[in-house]
C-alpha cells in the first residue's frame, strides 16, 4: 500500500506516493530522476549514496523513503549554487580528486557536511569524515588535499 | 621556449565538472521509454548436474515478458581467449560454481523480474565440490569440464638460458613458497547495461565495460548478429581494474531479451553478483628458487606456480603466462625456468586485475631477494642496483626495455625517503622496506589472433573551425583517457585543450581494444596523434596554396598559425572569415591568423576536414610458445619504499609512509599520473593487509559485501610521496608510456619487507593480518627458547 510523503529536495517540495519498502536512494534516483546519487552496495558499506538529510550526512540506501517524510534533503545536484560550483566541488576539480567519479557525489556530500560543521578540520578529522566513503581509484590523497584546500578558501 | 603547450601539465580532467555536479551518467542512471527489467537465475550449488528446468510458474506470473534458458540462448561457447572458449550464456547440463547462470527473465519492473526468477524450479543433482587447486589435480578428481579431465585449464613450460647450469654457478641458492588469496576488483560501480534492439534490427548496448570492442565481438558471436549491426556504447564507467574487460552474462542476456521482446532491457548486478561474477585476481601458489653469486649477481630463477582459476578460463590463459614472463626483469637474469598450471575449481572465475598475473610473483620474488640480500650482507637497494637493467636491455624472455628509468626510480625513492638514515636504525616495531617492478604498456598482441589495428582515431573540424571533434573507441573508465587523448590531440594539432571535444567509448567511432594492459595512453595516444597530424597537414596545405607560402615554413601552436620566416599578409583571409562568420558566436580577435580562421578556410576549399590515425605495434618478442604474453612496445617501471609500524603485542600493521617513483616515459598529465600511482598503491596495500574473498565448505562466498570484504579506507591509506621519472620512451606518443599498473607491482613486497624490518618475521601468505603476524612472532619466540 503506497503512502504519500512530502520531501524537500534541493529546496523544491515534492509530494510523492511511495511503497513502504522503497529506499530514499530509489526514490531520489527513480522517482525524482536525481541520478547524481549513486548506489554502490545498497547496504550502507560504500557511501556512494550519501545525501544531507536535515543537516546530517546519511547513506540514503539505509533510509526508507517513508522515514524521510517531512525532511529537508540536499543531494549532489543541490550543492552548486546556480552555475557556480561549491568550493568543495571546485577544489575536487582543481586537485584531481576525481577518477571514475562514482564515489565523488558521496565524497562531496561528506566533505561539505564536515566543513559546514567544522570549517577548519585537521587532516585526521577529514579522513575520519570520509572514512565511510569508499574510493577504489584515488588512494584518497587528492581528495583529502582538495577538502583541505576548500576549507582554506572558504575561510576567506 | 617551452617544449609543449598542452601536455606535461596539470590540467583538470575533461570530465571533472560533470562528475562533481552529479551530471555524469553511468549505465544504471540510464532509462528508456517502454523499458523492461531483467534478472538472472544463478546456481545455489557449486557443482551439480541440472536434471530439469521448469518455467511453467514463471510463465504465468503477470508482468513477465520473456524467459530465456540454454534452450533459447543456444550453446555457442565464448570466453576471452579463443583457445579456451569454455562458457555458454546459460548452463545446460551442469553448473560449476555458486552463481553460474541458468536463466534470465524480462519483466515490467525489477520486483516482478526477481519474483519471476524465484519461481523457476530447477532440479539439481549435487556433485563433489572442488575448492582447492591441489584437490583438483589429484588423480581421480571429478572433472569440472569434460574436455579437461585433470582440471588443468592451461599449463606453461618455458626455459630461457640453462637454469641447472645457472644454479651450478651460484654460490647461494634458496627456495621460498608464497601464496595470496583471491582478490576482488571492488570497483565502486556494479556492472549495469541497457540493450536496445530496434525495428531495423540494429542492436545498441549501453554498458559499463572496459572494452566496448571485445563486448561487441562477443555479442556478435554468441547471439549470431552481424558485427556491423551492433553498437556498444560506454556511458561513464565507475572503475574496472580488469574484471570489466570482457563481456558478461547481463550484457548477453539483455541483448537477447531485447532482441526477443523488441523492447529495451535493463539489467544490473547487485554487489553480491559483482563478487559472484568476479574475474578478479587469481590465487597464486608460487615456489621460487633463486641462485646468486657471492658478489650479489643474480644467476638463475626457477618459478613454479599453480593458479586457482575458478570455474572458467576468462583471461586466465594470459594470466598463467604473465605469472612467469613478468619476472624476466627489471634485473639482469640470464637463466629462467617457469612451470605454470592454471587449474579449474568450483569457484567464481578469476581473470585480469591491475598488474595482471605479475603482482603475486613480484611480491614473492622481491621478498626473496630481500632475504638473499640480507644473507649476503648487502643493502637491499645496493643489491638491486647491482643487478638492475637499463634502457636498451632485453630480458632473457625477449622483452625489450626500449626505455627504463628503473635505476633512476630506485635512486629517487632511496633519496626521497631518507632510506640511508632509516634502514637498520629504526626502533623495534618500526620498519622500512623497498621493492621494484615493471609492467607492459599495452599488450603487444590482441587477445584474439588478428592483424587488426589496436587503436584507431578520427578527427573532424567543425565548419566554423572553432571545435576539434575527436572520435575514438578508447574506454574512459576513470583512469583519465578522455583527458589524456584530448591533450594529445590538442598538442599534436596545435590548438588549445578547450578546443577539443572528445567522443569516446563507442564502437561506431572505430576500433580500440579498450582499457586493459595499460594500453590507452600509448596505443590510442599514437592513433590520436596521427589523426591530429593528418588534420593539421590538410589545413596547412590549403593555407600554403592560399598564401603562396611553403608548407614547411608554417606551423600551428596554441591555436595560432606560425610563420617561421616572418609575418605573411593574411588580411584577405581574415576579411573573408569575417564575412563568412557573420552572426556566429566566438569571433577570433587575435591580430595573427588563428587556427579557427584557417580551419574555416580549409573547409571552404575542401569540404569537411576529417583526418584519421591507426596504430598497431610492430612484431614484438621471441618465437617460443607463449612469447606474445608479456610483449609490449614499452615498459613502465616503479620503485617503492614503505615504512610501517607493527604493534608487537597484537601484530597489527599501520602503513605510515610510502614513497613511489614511477617511470611513465613522459607525463601527459602530471596530476593524472600521480592519481594512478596513489590508486595503485592503495589497491596493493589492500591486497597486502586485508583483502580476501573467503569461501565456506560448499563454495559459497562468505564475505560478498564491501563491508566484510574490506578495501582500504581514508584511514588506512597514508599520503604517498609521488616522484615522476621521465625516460622519454622512443615507442610512445611524445615519449609517454604506462602508469596504471606498473605502480602496483612493488607495493606488496615493499610492505612485506618493511614488516620484516620492523618485526624480524617473514610472512609468506597474504593478506598479512594481525593474527598472522602475531602467530609468527610467537613462533619466533618459541624458536629462541
pLDDT in tens, B179-232: 999 999 999 999 999 999 999 999 999 999 999 999 999 999 999 999 999 999
Does the fold of domain B453-615 match that of domain B283-445+622-784?
yes
Q: Does A46 touch chain B (CB under 8 A)?
A: yes
Q: Give the other-Cβ count within 10 Å of B146's Cβ.
A: 8
Backbone angles phi, psi at B570, to 5 degrees: -110, 10
Q: What is the pLDDT of residue B523?
A: 98
Q: What cell numbers appear for A122 in the block?
A: 585537521
CA distance B644 to B757: 9
> Most B CBs within 10 Å: which of A136, A144, A149, as the mutation test of the B interface?
A136
Grouping H, G, I as helix, E, B as strand and the rest as coil, residue B777 is helix
pLDDT per residue as tens digits for the range B77-104: 999 999 999 999 999 999 999 999 999 9
Interface check A10 vs B, CB under 8 A? no
Confidence of residue B424 (pLDDT cuts 50, 70, 90): very high
User: Which range (B239-243, B556-560, B618-622) has the least confidence?
Assistant: B618-622
Interface confidence (ipTM) of the complex: 0.98
The pLDDT tens digits for B615-648 are: 999 999 999 999 999 999 999 999 999 999 999 9
What mean pLDDT comes out for the span B345-366?
A: 98
Rg (CA), chain A: 15
- Per the CB < 8 A criterion, the answer to whether B324 and B361 are in contact is yes
Indicate the average pLDDT of chain B.
Answer: 97
pLDDT score of B429 more than 90: yes
Give the 3-state secondary structure of residue B141: coil
| Cβ contacts of B15 on chain A, cutoff 8 Å | 98, 101
Nearest to B270 by CA among B412, B99, B33, B145: B99
Query: Does position B612 have pLDDT exceeding 90, yes or no?
Result: yes
Q: Which CATH architecture has domain A87-155?
A: Orthogonal Bundle (1.10)
pLDDT at B377: 98
Q: Please compute, for residue B126, the number of CA atoms within 13 A of its CA located in the half-sphere on the CB side.
A: 9
Residues of chain B with C-beta less than 8 angstroms from the C-beta of A79? 21
| Chain-chain contact of B16 with A128 (C-beta, under 8 angstroms) | no
Query: What is the distance between the alpha carbons of residues B260 and B254, in angstroms, rounded to a whole number?
Result: 10
CA dihedral B719, B725, B730, B735 (to 10 degrees): 60
Burial B268-290 (b: 16+ CB within 10 A, else e): bbebbbbbbbbbbbbbbbbbbbb
Question: How close, in Å, is residue B189 to chain A by CA atoms?
Answer: 6
- CATH 1.10.150.120 domain span(s) along chain A: 87-155
Q: pLDDT category, B581, cuts 50, 70, 90?
A: confident
Does the distance separating the beta carbons of A136 and B188 come in below 8 Å? yes
The runs of H, that is alpha helices, within A85-156 are 87-95, 104-117, 123-129, 141-155
CATH class (in words) of the domain with range B27-127+188-239+244-277? alpha beta
Regions of chain A where pLDDT drops below 50: none
- In angstroms, rounded to a whole number, what is the distance separating the alpha carbons of residues B755 and A29? 46
* Residue B365 pLDDT greater than 50, yes or no: yes
Predicted confidence (pLDDT) per residue in B41-55, tens digit: 999 999 999 999 999
Contact A130 B477 (CB under 8 A): no
pLDDT above 70 covers what percent of chain B?
A: 100
Residue A96 CB neighbour total at 10 angstroms: 28
Mean of the pLDDT values across residues B120-127? 98
Could you please state the CATH topology (level 3) that the domain comprising A3-78 is classified under: Ubiquitin-like (UB roll) (3.10.20)
Selecting from A38, A101, A131 the residue whose C-beta is nearest the C-beta of B15 gives A101
Q: DSSP class of residue B749? A: H
Tell me the sheet residues that pair with B41. Answer: B103
Q: Tell me, yes or no, if the pTM score tops 0.90.
A: yes
Average pLDDT, integer, range B256-273: 98
- Provide the number of CB pairs (under 8 Å) joining chain A to chain B: 169
**Residue B422 pLDDT:** 98
Q: Say which residues have a Cβ less than 8 Å from residue B678's Cβ, sequence separation at least 6.
A: A138, A139, A140, A141, A142, B720, B722
Report pLDDT for A115: 98
d(CA A2, CA A16): 9
Residue-wise DSSP of B42-83: E-SSSSEEEEEEE-HHHHHSTTEEEEE-HHHH----B-SSGG
> Would you call B21 and A96 a contact, using CB atoms and an 8 Å cutoff?
no
Which string of DSSP letters, residue by residue, matches B97-124? STT-EEEEEEESSHHHHHHHHHT-EEEE
pLDDT of residue B1: 44
List the domain boundaries for chain B.
27-127+188-239+244-277, 283-445+622-784, 453-615
Q: State in words which class domain B453-615 has.
A: alpha beta
- The architecture that CATH gives domain B283-445+622-784 is 2-Layer Sandwich (3.30)
As annotated, the residues of chain A forming the CATH 3.10.20.30 domain(s) are: 3-78
Amino acid at each position: 500500500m503506497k503512502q504519500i510523503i512530502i520531501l524537500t529536495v534541493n529546496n523544491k517540495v515534492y509530494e510523492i506516493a511511495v511503497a513502504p519498502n522503497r529506499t530514499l536512494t530509489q526514490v531520489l534516483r527513480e522517482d525524482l530522476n536525481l541520478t547524481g546519487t549513486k548506489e554502490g552496495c545498497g547496504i550502507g558499506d560504500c557511501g556512494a549514496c550519501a545525501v544531507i538529510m536535515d543537516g546530517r550526512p546519511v547513506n540514503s540506501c539505509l533510509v526508507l523513503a517513508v522515514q524521510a517524510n517531512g525532511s529537508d534533503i540536499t543531494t549532489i545536484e543541490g550543492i552548486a549554487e546556480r552555475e557556480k560550483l561549491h568550493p568543495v566541488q571546485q577544489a575536487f576539480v582543481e586537485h584531481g580528486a576525481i577518477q571514475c567519479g562514482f564515489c565523488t557525489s558521496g565524497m562531496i556530500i561528506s566533505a561539505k557536511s564536515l566543513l559546514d560543521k567544522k570549517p577548519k578540520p585537521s587532516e585526521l578529522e577529514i579522513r575520519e569524515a570520509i572514512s565511510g566513503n569508499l574510493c577504489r581509484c584515488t588512494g584518497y590523497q587528492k581528495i583529502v588535499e582538495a577538502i583541505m584546500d576548500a576549507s582554506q578558501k572558504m575561510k576567506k | 621556449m617551452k617544449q609543449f603547450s598542452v601536455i606535461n601539465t596539470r590540467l583538470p580532467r575533461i570530465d571533472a565538472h560533470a562528475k562533481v555536479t552529479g551530471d555524469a551518467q553511468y549505465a544504471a542512471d540510464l532509462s528508456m521509454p517502454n523499458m523492461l527489467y531483467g534478472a538472472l537465475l544463478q546456481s545455489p550449488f557449486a557443482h551439480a548436474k541440472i536434471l530439469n528446468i521448469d518455467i511453467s510458474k514463471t510463465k504465468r506470473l503477470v508482468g513477465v515478458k520473456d524467459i530465456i534458458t540454454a534452450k533459447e540462448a543456444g550453446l555457442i561457447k565464448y570466453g576471452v581467449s579463443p583457445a579456451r572458449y569454455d562458457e555458454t550464456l546459460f548452463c545446460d547440463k551442469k553448473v560449476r560454481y555458486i552463481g553460474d547462470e541458468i536463466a534470465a527473465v524480462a519483466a515490467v519492473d525489477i520486483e516482478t523480474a526477481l519474483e519471476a526468477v524465484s519461481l523457476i524450479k530447477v532440479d539439481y543433482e549435487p556433485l563433489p565440490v572442488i575448492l582447492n587447486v591441489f584437490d583438483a589435480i589429484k588423480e581421480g578428481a571429478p572433472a569440472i569440464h569434460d574436455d579437461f579431465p585433470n582440471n588443468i585449464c592451461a599449463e606453461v613450460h618455458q626455459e630461457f638460458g640453462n637454469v641447472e647450469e645457472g644454479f651450478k654457478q651460484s654460490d647461494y641458492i634458496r627456495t621460498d613458497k608464497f601464496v595470496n588469496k583471491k582478490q576482488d576488483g571492488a570497483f565502486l560501480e556494479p556492472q549495469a547495461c541497457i540493450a536496445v534492439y530496434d525495428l531495423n534490427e540494429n542492436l545498441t548496448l549501453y554498458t559499463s565495460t572496459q572494452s566496448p570492442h571485445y563486448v561487441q565481438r562477443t555479442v556478435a558471436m554468441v547471439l549470431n548478429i552481424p558485427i556491423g549491426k551492433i553498437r556498444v556504447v560506454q556511458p561513464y564507467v565507475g572503475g574496472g581494474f580488469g574484471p570489466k574487460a570482457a563481456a558478461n552474462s547481463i550484457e548477453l542476456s539483455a541483448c537477447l531479451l531485447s532482441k526477443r521482446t523488441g523492447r529495451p532491457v535493463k539489467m544490473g548486478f547487485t554487489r553480491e553478483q559483482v563478487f559472484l561474477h568476479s574475474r578478479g585476481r587469481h590465487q597464486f601458489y608460487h615456489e621460487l628458487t633463486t641462485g646468486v653469486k657471492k658478489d650479489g649477481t643474480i644467476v638463475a630463477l626457477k618459478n613454479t606456480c599453480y593458479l586457482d582459476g575458478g570455474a572458467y578460463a576468462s583471461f586466465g590463459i594470459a594470466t598463467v603466462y604473465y605469472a612467469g614472463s613478468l619476472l624476466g626483469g627489471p634485473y639482469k637474469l640470464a637463466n629462467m625456468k617457469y612451470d605454470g598450471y592454471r587449474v579449474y575449481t568450483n569457484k567464481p572465475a578469476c581473470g585480469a586485475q591491475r598488474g595482471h598475473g605479475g603482482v603475486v610473483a613480484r611480491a614473492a620474488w622481491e621478498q626473496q631477494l630481500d632475504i638473499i640480500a640480507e644473507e649476503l650482507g648487502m643493502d637491499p637497494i645496493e643489491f638491486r642496483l647491482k643487478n638492475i637493467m637499463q634502457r636498451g636491455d632485453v630480458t632473457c624472455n625477449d622483452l625489450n626495455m626500449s626505455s627504463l628509468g628503473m635505476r633512476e626510480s630506485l635512486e629517487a625513492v632511496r633519496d626521497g625517503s631518507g632510506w640511508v638514515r632509516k634502514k637498520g636504525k629504526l626502533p623495534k616495531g618500526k620498519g622500512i622496506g623497498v621493492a621494484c617492478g615493471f609492467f607492459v604498456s599495452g599488450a603487444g598482441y590482441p587477445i584474439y589472433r588478428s592483424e587488426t589495428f589496436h587503436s584507431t582515431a578520427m578527427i573532424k573540424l567543425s565548419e566554423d573551425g572553432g571545435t576539434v571533434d575527436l572520435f575514438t573507441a578508447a574506454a574512459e573508465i576513470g583512469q583519465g583517457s578522455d583527458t589524456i587523448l584530448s591533450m594529445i590531440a590538442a598538442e599534436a594539432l596545435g590548438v588549445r585543450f578547450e578546443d577539443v571535444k572528445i567522443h569516446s567509448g563507442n564502437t561506431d567511432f572505430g576500433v580500440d581494444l579498450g582499457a586493459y594492459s595499460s594500453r590507452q595512453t600509448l596505443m590510442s595516444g599514437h592513433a590520436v596523434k596521427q589523426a591530429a597530424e593528418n588534420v593539421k597537414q590538410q589545413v596547412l596545405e590549403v593555407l600554403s596554396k592560399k598564401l603562396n607560402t611553403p608548407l614547411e615554413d608554417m606551423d600551428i601552436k596554441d591555436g595560432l598559425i606560425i610563420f617561421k620566416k616572418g609575418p605573411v599578409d593574411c588580411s584577405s583571409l581574415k576579411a573573408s572569415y569575417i564575412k563568412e562568420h557573420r552572426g556566429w558566436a566566438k569571433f577570433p580577435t587575435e591580430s595573427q591568423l588563428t587556427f579557427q580562421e584557417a580551419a574555416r578556410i580549409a573547409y571552404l576549399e575542401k569540404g569537411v576536414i576529417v583526418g584519421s590515425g591507426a596504430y598497431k605495434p610492430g612484431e614484438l618478442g621471441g618465437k617460443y610458445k607463449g612469447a606474445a604474453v608479456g610483449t609490449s612496445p614499452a615498459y613502465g617501471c616503479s620503485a617503492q619504499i614503505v615504512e610501517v609500524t607493527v604493534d608487537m603485542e597484537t601484530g597489527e600493521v599501520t602503513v605510515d609512509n610510502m614513497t613511489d617513483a614511477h617511470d611513465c616515459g613522459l607525463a601527459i598529465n602530471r596530476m593524472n599520473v600521480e592519481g594512478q600511482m596513489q590508486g595503485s598503491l592503495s589497491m596493493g596495500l589492500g591486497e597486502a593487509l586485508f583483502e580476501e574473498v573467503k569461501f565456506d565448505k560448499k563454495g559459497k562466498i562468505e564475505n560478498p559485501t564491501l563491508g566484510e570484504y574490506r578495501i582500504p579506507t581514508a584511514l588506512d591509506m597514508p599520503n604517498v610521496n609521488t616522484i615522476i621519472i621521465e625516460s622519454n620512451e622512443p615507442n610512445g606518443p611524445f615519449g609517454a608510456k604506462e602508469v596504471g599498473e606498473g605502480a602496483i607491482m612493488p607495493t606488496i613486497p615493499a610492505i612485506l619487507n618493511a614488516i620484516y624490518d620492523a618485526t624480524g618475521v617473514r610472512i609468506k601468505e597474504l593478506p598479512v593480518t594481525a593474527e598472522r603476524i602475531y602467530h609468527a612472532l610467537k613462533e619466533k619466540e618459541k624458536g629462541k627458547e
